[in-house]
Amino acid sequence: MKKLLFLLQLTLLPFAAMAQESYPTIQLPTDEYDIMISEMKFTEASEKLKKAITQAKRRRKDVSVMESQLERSNRGMQALRGTDRLLVIDTVVVDKKSFLQAYNITDDLGKVTMSEDGTYTEFLTQRGNILYSVDNVNGRLQLCTYYMENGKRTEKSLVEGLGVSGDMNYPFLMPDGSTLYFAARAFDGLGNYDLYVTRYDYEDNRYYKAESLGFPYNSYANDYMMVINEEKNLGWFASDRYQPADKVCIYIFIPNSSRHPYDYENEDKNKVITAAKLRPITGTWTKANSAERQQALQTLDNMKKSSRKQRAYDFTLVINDQKTYHYYSDFRSAAARKQCELWQNKLAQLEDISKNLEQQRATYHRNHNAYVKSQVLQLEQQYEQLLHETSEAEKQTRKLELNP
């Protein structure tokens, strides 16, 4: 039974958790109809639900839950018919706590940072004059902006007119200054966090009503943090579909200039469902787009190499809104400088363990050896402990510098 539950956790798509938490949550579907919907068997689910509702009404039973499921199934079918033809070139699975490290965000796009408590992200525009953040309004997370002056936050405004009811998070503004991507846990979404896009109308000084990106960007799991680099023709978004609770998968794709949906009526239905689920991502590959994918992979590799070459700093440590340190000579406090060295040593250890862990996982997936499995479990425990120690070492470094 435990093994079956574990497999379900890895393979089934979770449904929406509408409680007022401020971080993606996962609920495992156990109801027969929810499971069918999660597997995108919308036609079968709708037919069974209609029959069950009719029978329940005859017996004068409550049908509100089934009617909600039927609505969700119909909404899913509508989304499936609009599945965008997306080319995913690669994926990388990382720890959810540090998922931003898997993105290749160049300075000309702006800066994305995670809040210290890990509940939301902020986006600073490339000019450094506007910060997109998150504010708690009546128990719901809402997007807001700050004007920045000399690195300090000044005037705050809520981002209004999006037409989304629910938690909003993970903003990213395109360099055009108009196109805004974000994630929302909305009542009319697929469930959990979904990706949305809106644009700013400078003539009317307002945002247009946001639109859900639909399949395959969204799922019944948490899908968030869309970043697009038009110059490099690459995009990234995060999703915890098919992942354990502490992991997230970063999907790297070639962005479309406009939506190019599959012809649902005339194409193989299983092909469309595979594309909508992005499982496997090879379902998005064809002979026709092979050259485009290889070119994108080369561009991605070049970006990684360039990023490593530009990393001439000793480290990067955000002290506060006004100060970011890159060198040991930046410290005023000798104790903070020593603590920073400890932090950097732990980061190096963390990277070594991470590489070893990925190698052991790959070995285990190939032969399912019991000894290798024990090694993986041991390394995972070491990694989690060291991750905590590294985070604490960073906080202590900052604290010692601010309060010498």
**DSSP three-state, residue 74:** helix
Two tokens, residue 300: 């991605």
Average pLDDT over residues 276-286: 94
Whether the bond into 24 is cis, omega within 30 of 0: no
Q: What are phi and psi of 180, to 5 degrees?
A: -115, 125
* Residue 74 lies inside a defined structural domain of this protein: no
Among residues 137, 131, 122, the alpha carbon closest in space to that of 155 is found at: 131
Place of tokens 């993986």: 376
| More confident: 376 or 230 | 230
Average pLDDT over residues 89-99: 91
Range of the domain at 386: 317-402
Please count the structural domains in the chain: 2
- Same-domain pairing of 253 and 373: no
pLDDT at 133: 96
* Residue 105 lies inside a defined structural domain of this protein: yes
Average pLDDT over residues 341-366: 84
Which of 21-35, 271-285, 294-308, 325-339 has the largest mean confidence? Answer: 271-285
Between CA 148 and CA 129 the distance in angstroms is 5
- Same-domain pairing of 118 and 167: yes
Two tokens, residue 313: 């700093």
- Same-domain pairing of 293 and 162: yes
The last residue of a domain, from among 309, 343, 360: 309
Straight-line distance from the first to the last Cα atom of the chain, in angstroms, rounded to the nearest whole number = 55
- Same-domain pairing of 305 and 337: no
* Residue 68 lies inside a defined structural domain of this protein: no
pLDDT at 309: 59
- Same-domain pairing of 347 and 214: no
Which of 13-27, 110-124, 170-184 has the largest mean confidence? Answer: 170-184
Q: Which segment of 128-142, 143-157, 299-313 scores lowest on mean pLDDT?
A: 299-313
Between CA 96 and CA 98 the distance in angstroms is 6
Share of the chain above pLDDT 70, in %: 91
Length of the chain: 404
The last residue of a domain, from among 270, 291, 309: 309
pLDDT at 12: 39
Q: Which segment of 161-170, 186-195, 322-331 scores lowest on mean pLDDT?
A: 322-331
Say whether pLDDT at 389 is over 60.
yes
* Residue 21 lies inside a defined structural domain of this protein: no
CATH number for the domain that contains residue 192: 2.120.10
Between CA 313 and CA 322 the distance in angstroms is 18
User: In whole numbers, what is the pLDDT of the chain averaged over residues?
Assistant: 87
- Same-domain pairing of 204 and 338: no
Say whether pLDDT at 311 is over 80.
no
Among residues 104, 97, 50, the alpha carbon closest in space to that of 73 is found at: 50
Two tokens, residue 25: 């949550």
- Tell me how many degrees the CA angle 164-168-170 measures, rounded to the nearest 5: 135
- Same-domain pairing of 169 and 262: yes
The last residue of a domain, from among 290, 309, 328: 309
- Same-domain pairing of 304 and 347: no
